[in-house]
Structure 1
Amino acid sequence: MNFSSEVSLPNRVLYALAEENRGATSAWRVRILCVRDALEHKSAIPAESNTKQLIKRMVAGKQLGPIEGLKEVYQVIVPYASLCPVSAEVVAQEANPRAAISHLTAFVHHSVSYELPDTLHLTIAPASTFLPAGTTPEDWLDATLPRPRKPSSILGREVQWSSTKDEWDFGFEIGMHEGLPIYTTDLERTLLEGLRSPNYCGGFKHVLECWVRSLDEIEIGKIVTYANKFSQNILKQRIGFVLETLGVKHQEFDEWATKAVRGSSAVLVAGEPFCSEFSERWKISLNCPSSELSILENRD
C-alpha cells in the first residue's frame, strides 16, 4: 500500500481501497490488504481474528457499512467512495469471486444488447478457472479461497444463477466494469449460451439480434472450438443454421451437418414446441416466427 506505518491500519486499508476506486469490499479482500500491508512494513502477518476485529472497528467507525442480505460484504462509506459507483455486478464479485456475469447481463457488458435488465445473470465457474478479481496467486499462498455464496438478490436486483461443468471450463475472461476488473463470459460463449438458454438472454428474437450485431467482432474459429467442447450436436445444428443464414462459412460445417439428426428435440429455439417447418440441411425444426428468422436474412 506504500503508506507510512504512522497512519492507522484502518486508514491504510481505506487508502488501498481508494487507490482501486472500490466502493464495496469484502472480508476476504480486507484480509488480503492487511497481509499485503504487513509484508510491506516487514511486520508479522496478522491473525485472521485480528482482521475480523479490524472490520468490526471500521464498521463501528462508519468507514464500512454492511450490505443488506450479504454476509461479510461491505459498502465503503467514507467520502471518496461517494464518487465510486457500487453496482450489483461488482458486489457480486465480492460475495462470490467465482461468479462471472453471463447471459443477458454479459450481452449488455459486451455492448451488443441495449436492454436494461432488472435481473443479474451470473454463472459460477469451476474453481480452477480464476482467482478472485484484483488478486494475485501470491495473495493466496497461505489463504483459503472464500466460500462461494449464491444470494437471491444483490442491491435490490434479482440474481439468476447458473453453473457449468468442469469440462466446460472455457470462454471466461476478465473485463472492466465501472473501472474495476470483473469476470464475464466472453462474447463467443455468451452467443452460444443465447442459443442454449434464450429465456435467460432476453428471448430468441433478442439473441438473433445480438448475433447480427456481433458478426463483425466474433472469432468464428473460437465459436467452432467452443461448440466442439460443448459436444452437443443440437447446439452445432443451431450454430450452423444461424451462421450459414448470416452468410458465414467454415470447413467444419459440412461435417456437423452430416451428423445432424432430425427428431422431436431437434429444435432451433430451446424450450419451445417442435413445428413441422425445418431446415433440410441442418435437420432442425424452425420453431419460431418467420419474422424472427428474417432478422438473419435481412441483417443489412
Structure 2
Amino acid sequence: MARFIASRFPVKLTHAAAQLGEMLREAKLPVISAFGFHRFVWKLYAGPTDQKLYLRSDLPSSSDTSRLRQSLKKAGLIGTDPDYGKSVIRVMTVPDLPADEIVCLADPTCYVSHLSAMQRWGLTDRHPERLILSRPDRPTAIMALQAQMDIALKAGEEAPFPLRIVAHPAEVRQRPVMALETKTVGFSVQIRGSHVRVSTIGQTFLDMVQKPDLCGGMAHIIDIWEEHARSYLQEIVSAVDTAHIAIAKSRAGYILQERLGLTNPTIESWKALGQRGGSRKLDPDKDFAPEFSETWMLSLNV
C-alpha cells in the first residue's frame, strides 16, 4: 500500500508517511485540525508492530508530527484549505463536502442554528442563502475544546499544538456564513450519517422566540408554531424553560396558550415572569401596538 501511494506523487514518501496518507484517505474527512492530524500520527505509531514503517521511537514527538505533515504536503496529499487557510488541513485525497459539513468539521464547538436549522428540520419552506451557526463565546469554546482534547488523548500522550479557536470566514464553499457567539450556547445533535450538528428541535423553537429576525420574522414564526408546535410541545416547553431571557418565555407562552390553546404547569409558571413595559413586544423589530395581552404582558404587534 505504501509503495502504491508513493508512486502516485512526484515526492518519494517514507513507509510511515505513505501509510499515514492512506489512513487519512480512509477516514474520509476532507478537513482536519492540527490536533486531529496529530491524533492520526499517534494511531500510526500505535498500530501493529509487524508494519515495516521504520519509526524512530515508540511514541511520536511534535517534530515527528511536523516532519510527516511536511512530507504529505510536499507530496500533495494534504494542503491549505481554500476558505479557512492554515487554520485547518485540507486532505486532498478526500472529496470535498458542502458548507454545513465543512464548518462543523473545522469547528467542533459550532452547530447549525436559527433559519438554517429550521430548514434542516423541515419547519420552513424558505431556502436561506446564508448558513447560520451558533458557537460558544471564546472562553467557553476554549474550555469545550480542552475537554474534547482531554477525552481524545491517551495515557502518556501530550498535545503538541496549542488550542486554537477557528475563525469562520464570511464564505465557505461559496456559501455565505454567519457565526453567532453566545455565553449561553444551546443544545445540538449530530445528524446521523453526517458531520453536521444542528440545534435540537426544542432549541430551534426557542431560538425563534429569542431572535425572530434570524428565523424569518415573527409572522413566519407564528405560522410555523401553529403548524408544528403541537407535534413538538414537550420538546418546546423543555427548551423554552431553560431560557435565560424572560421575554422568550412570554412570547412562547402567548403563542402556545392564547393562539394554540395549549397549556401545562410549566407554561403556567412562565406567567409570573411577565412585567409591563413598552419594550415588551411580540415582535422586537416592529413598533409597539395598542393591542395587548394582559396575561403575557406583550404588545401584540404582529
TM-score with structure 1 setting the length: 0.78
Q: Closer, same or farther in 2 for the Cα pair 1:277/1:96, shift >3 Å?
A: same
State the Cα deviation string for residues 29-54 of structure 1 (Å, max 9, x = none): 21111112212246622222332332
Let me know the Cα RMSD of the aligned residues.
3.1
| Residue in 1 that maps onto 2:11 | none
Does residue 1:111 correspond to 2:122, yes or no?
A: yes
Counterparts of 2:297 and 2:239, CA distance in 1: 21
| Residue in 2 that maps onto 1:75 | 90
- Count of paired positions: 276
| Residue in 2 that maps onto 1:157 | 175
Counterparts of 1:264 and 1:255, CA distance in 2: 22
| Residue in 1 that maps onto 2:37 | 30
Q: CA deviation at 1:189?
A: 0.8
Q: CA deviation at 1:192?
A: 0.9
Pairs within 5 Å for 1:141-156: 142-143=158-159, 146-153=163-170, 154-156=172-174
Pairs within 5 Å for 1:1-300: 8-41=15-48, 44-70=58-84, 71-78=86-93, 81-82=94-95, 85-125=96-136, 126-127=140-141, 137-139=151-153, 142-143=158-159, 146-153=163-170, 154-165=172-183, 168-176=184-192, 179-215=193-229, 217-220=231-234, 222-244=235-257, 245-288=259-302
| Letter aligned with residue 69 of structure 2 | I
Q: CA deviation at 1:4?
A: 8.8
| Residue in 2 that maps onto 1:294 | none
SS for the counterpart of 1:73 is strand
Counterparts of 2:237 and 2:246, CA distance in 1: 12
Counterparts of 1:132 and 1:117, CA distance in 2: 33
Q: Closer, same or farther in 2 for the Cα pair 1:10/1:224, shift >3 Å?
A: same
Counterparts of 1:278 and 1:146, CA distance in 2: 50
| Letter aligned with residue 12 of structure 1 | Q
SS for the counterpart of 2:90 is strand
Bigger Rg over Cα? 2
Q: CA deviation at 1:193?
A: 0.9
Counterparts of 1:184 and 1:130, CA distance in 2: 18
Tell me if structure 1 keeps the 8 A contact 2:3–2:18. Answer: no
Q: Closer, same or farther in 2 for the Cα pair 1:93/1:225, shift >3 Å?
A: same
Structure 1 residue ranges (4+ consecutive) displaced by more than 6 angstroms after TM superposition:
3-7, 130-133
Q: Closer, same or farther in 2 for the Cα pair 1:271/1:16, shift >3 Å?
A: farther
Q: CA deviation at 1:200?
A: 1.5
Gap runs ≥5 in structure 2: 6-14, 50-56
Q: Closer, same or farther in 2 for the Cα pair 1:102/1:246, shift >3 Å?
A: same
Tell me if structure 2 keeps the 8 A contact 1:98–1:148. Answer: no
Q: Which moved more, 1:8-17 or 1:45-54?
A: 8-17
Gap runs ≥5 in structure 1: 289-300
SS for the counterpart of 1:235 is helix
Tell me if structure 1 keeps the 8 A contact 2:202–2:238. Answer: no
SS for the counterpart of 2:196 is strand
State the Cα deviation string for residues 148-199 of structure 1 (Å, max 9, x = none): 122232223222121222xx355222224xx333333211111111111122
Counterparts of 2:207 and 2:65, CA distance in 1: 40
Tell me if structure 2 keeps the 8 A contact 1:260–1:283. Answer: yes
Counterparts of 1:115 and 1:237, CA distance in 2: 26
* Overall identity of the aligned pairs, in %: 22
SS for the counterpart of 2:32 is strand
Tell me if structure 2 keeps the 8 A contact 1:97–1:148. Answer: no
SS for the counterpart of 2:190 is strand
Counterparts of 1:122 and 1:283, CA distance in 2: 31
